[in-house]
Amino acid sequence: MNPNEIRHFNGYNPSLEKPRDVLPVGGYICKIIKAKAQDLPDGNQELDLMLEIVEGAYTGFFHRDYDSQNRSYTPRYRGIYKVVCPTNNLRPEDAWRLDKFNFTLGAITASNPGYEWNWDASSLAGLSVGISVRENEYRGIIRTEIGKLIPVSTILNGNFRPMKRRISRETGYVQGYPAPAMAAPAPAPAPPVMVPRSGGYSLPQGQGPKVVQRFRFGPAGSVQSCTQTDDIPF
């Protein structure tokens, strides 16, 4: 037997990695694809919105970005905006939650004349809204993210003002891909079996929460791999 012969395996298919674009800072008109209420471990509720850009040069960006991700890992749909819902016993230091929720629903209602919030998260599906995309920097890693929801009219009438870059100083997870020099070595898991899904993209076989690979910063700036349950796309 040739000592240099590579053992045959199923799934061999030479291919090129799809390039991933970066969504520039700016304002974009979106459609709310899905919306749901999520119960958090601390007993609070969260409003989760799945968005897609529907106008301009970046129409369909979040779906294309999702499709371009490495299928050896559970892909992440990045057009997600989450809002922790206020309660009747908010502490003074948590008053910002009420403002964020009110501003979020204000942007949605202003973008959809005739719509009235009925306390049913699913009623938001199909509505239009604007998003303000900003930069987020964490220990030298810069990516773009949805900073807030804004009325569609703010984009159309020329009154849009870009948000400043967010500098994240708290410890936590860095969503996305760490810099190559910082990537923690880890064996690649078996590729998931993909199944078709409406909207032109695929998901790993099965429904419900998925375990995804993330990275967090440990002592002295070291990068540690970890896993965390992720329920998006939902």
In the chain, what are the domain boundaries?
Answer: 26-170
Collapsed DSSP state (helix, strand, coil) of residue 144: strand
Which of 211, 217, 223 lies closest to 75 in space, CA to CA? Answer: 211
pLDDT(112) > 80? yes
Is the distance from CB of 23 to CB of 58 less than 8 angstroms? yes
**What beta strand segments (E) does the chain contain?**
26-39, 45-53, 80-84, 128-138, 141-150, 166-167, 173-174, 194-197, 201-204, 210-217, 223-230
What's the rounded mean pLDDT across residues 141-170?
Answer: 89
Pick 118 or 182 by higher pLDDT.
118
pTM (predicted TM-score):
0.66
Distance CA 64, CA 217 (A): 29
Q: Which DSSP category does 133 fall into?
A: E
What's the rounded mean pLDDT across residues 110-123?
Answer: 97
CA distance to 58, 104, 123, per residue, from 119 (Å) = 31, 14, 8
Q: Looking at residue 72, what is its pLDDT?
A: 65
Q: Looking at residue 193, what is its pLDDT?
A: 45
pLDDT(121) > 50? yes
Q: Looking at residue 90, what is its pLDDT?
A: 87
Q: Which DSSP category does 105 fall into?
A: H
pLDDT(223) > 70? no
Collapsed DSSP state (helix, strand, coil) of residue 45: strand
Q: Looking at residue 215, what is its pLDDT?
A: 34
Q: Looking at residue 38, what is its pLDDT?
A: 93
pLDDT(232) > 70? no
Per-residue model confidence as pLDDT tens digits over 73-108: 678 899 999 999 999 988 888 899 999 999 999 999
Q: Looking at residue 15, what is its pLDDT?
A: 77
| Percent of the chain surpassing pLDDT 70 | 69
Pick 161 or 202 by higher pLDDT.
161
Strand pairing category for 141-150 and 166-167: unpaired
